[in-house]
């Protein structure tokens, strides 16, 4: 197979972790006789520094013509405490999602048994949990009209959805549910929000086309509680942009650490793959970030964009083996991790590649 892959490292630890995502792609290419051509582009704070624009035209042009994108992370502390900044790194990520029509964000949450001790949740509650989130990614308050009154003392973000936006992601979620345990939970706030009432109405209609899938509707506040209380009761979860953003960070504790979670953003054309963790400037440049979420994002890319299921499974097994052997970056280490098993980003990456 011959494919073009665009790497957008972005900010903070994004640089360090995508280095290892790329090295894993190179190792896979060699082992399975594929040819991957790599290109790189700027986005986020690094792009603002270089060009003044968080998503330079050149990056967007490259993104529109490649076969798949591996992204690192976005954000810089400089902006977090400066709400008045007009140009912000995150605008780059939001714009590329919109421009590429990446309306479905898949976030699989699965705990590797070896990491039972790394989570703050009791092991007996976690064991066996396996959830696939479908987070809508190009609508909601993220993209609704934003306003500030003239005296600057009142502000609003419009929470808006159209039926077609709900339908297209619902179909994707139902199709995935058919290949899993045939259960889908749609999360909304239909007791309060009109956009959620449209969400629920639309999902109820789509559900009729998938009689083999059992549908449950849950309010977001209840879902946030149930997710921690009994994660095993969820399988496919379908939700809107903001609710999905919050629930999937919460769900990272079910997978042991944010450093483990990969995601795929898909729509009608190119696929975009990224860890769900952020730029983590507090540890950036120290060589201690966990590269596994980026490596697992590569597995999602091979599976979803290129249909290379064996190669994807090979990566997941290599990660599993690495964890079984006891290697741990700081975020997934616990009291039982001995000094010689604690590793840097580089060591972790090298062991995974050896295990490939």
Cβ closer to ligand IPM: 1 or 141?
Answer: 141
Counting residues that bind ligand IPM (by CB under 6 A) gives 6
Cβ closer to ligand IPM: 111 or 276?
Answer: 276
Q: Which of 62, 79, 249, 321 is catalytic?
A: 249
Is 23 a catalytic site residue?
no
- Interaction of residue 157 with ligand IPM, rule CB under 6 A: no
Determine which residue in the list 77, 90, 101, 207 makes contact with ligand IPM, applying CB under 6 A.
90
Show contacts with ligand IPM in window 270-289 (CB under 6 A).
276
Is 221 a catalytic site residue?
yes
Cβ closer to Mg ion: 94 or 228?
Answer: 94
- Interaction of residue 93 with ligand IPM, rule CB under 6 A: yes
Q: Which of 67, 103, 142, 273 is catalytic?
A: 142
- Interaction of residue 245 with Mg ion, rule CB under 5 A: yes
Is 249 a catalytic site residue?
yes
Is 130 a catalytic site residue?
no
- Interaction of residue 266 with ligand IPM, rule CB under 6 A: no
Nearest-CB residue for Mg ion = 245
Interatomic CA distance for residues 204 and 166, integer angstroms: 11
Nearest to 202 by CA among 254, 161, 167: 167
Determine which residue in the list 130, 216, 245, 320 makes contact with ligand IPM, applying CB under 6 A.
245
Cβ closer to ligand IPM: 97 or 172?
Answer: 97
Cβ closer to ligand IPM: 45 or 200?
Answer: 45
Determine which residue in the list 46, 60, 74, 104 makes contact with ligand IPM, applying CB under 6 A.
74
Cβ burial 168-190 (10 Å sphere, 16+ → b, else e): bbbebbbebbeeeeeebbbbbbb
Is 321 a catalytic site residue?
no
Nearest-CB residue for ligand IPM = 90
Q: Which does 93 bind (CB under 5 to 8 A by kind): Mg ion, ligand IPM, none?
A: ligand IPM
> Annotated active-site positions, please?
142, 189, 221, 245, 249
| Positions in the binding site for Mg ion (CB under 5 A) | 245
């Amino acid at each position: 197979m011959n494919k073009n892959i665009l790497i957008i490292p972005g900010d903070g630890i994004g640089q360090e972790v995508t280095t290892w995502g790329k090295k894993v792609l190179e190792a896979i290419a060699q082992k399975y006789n594929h040819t991957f051509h790599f290109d790189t582009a700027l986005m986020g704070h690094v792009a603002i520094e270089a060009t003044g624009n968080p998503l330079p035209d050149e990056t967007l042009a490259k993104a529109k013509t490649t076969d798949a994108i591996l992204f690192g992370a976005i954000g810089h502390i400089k902006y977090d405490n400066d709400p008045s900044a007009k140009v912000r790194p995150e605008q780059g990520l939001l714009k590329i999602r919109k421009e590429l029509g990446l309306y479905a964000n898949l976030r699989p949450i699965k705990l590797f048994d070896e990491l039972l001790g790394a989570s703050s949740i009791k092991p007996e509650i976690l064991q066996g949990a396996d959830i696939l989130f479908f987070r809508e990614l190009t609508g909601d308050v993220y993209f609704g009209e934003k306003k500030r009154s003239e005296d600057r003392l009142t502000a609003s973000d419009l929470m808006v959805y159209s039926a077609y936006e709900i339908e297209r992601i619902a179909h994707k979620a139902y199709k995935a549910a058919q290949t899993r345990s045939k259960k889908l939970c749609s999360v909304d706030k239909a007791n309060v929000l009109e956009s959620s009432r449209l969400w629920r109405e639309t999902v109820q209609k789509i559900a009729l086309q998938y009689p083999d899938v059992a549908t449950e509707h849950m309010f977001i506040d209840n879902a946030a509680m149930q997710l921690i209380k009994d994660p095993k009761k969820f399988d496919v979860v379908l939700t809107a942009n903001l609710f999905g953003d919050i629930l999937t960070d919460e769900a990272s504790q079910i997978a042991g650490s944010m450093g483990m979670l990969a995601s795929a953003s898909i729509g009608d054309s190119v696929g975009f793959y990224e860890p769900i963790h952020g730029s983590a400037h507090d540890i950036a440049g120290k060589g201690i970030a966990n590269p596994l979420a980026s490596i697992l994002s590569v597995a999602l890319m091979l599976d979803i964009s290129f249909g290379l299921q064996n190669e994807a499974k090979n990566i997941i097994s290599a990660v599993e083996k690495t964890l079984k052997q006891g290697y741990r970056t700081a975020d997934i280490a616990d009291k039982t991790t001995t000094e010689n098993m604690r590793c840097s980003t580089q060591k972790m990456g090298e062991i995974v590649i050896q295990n490939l």
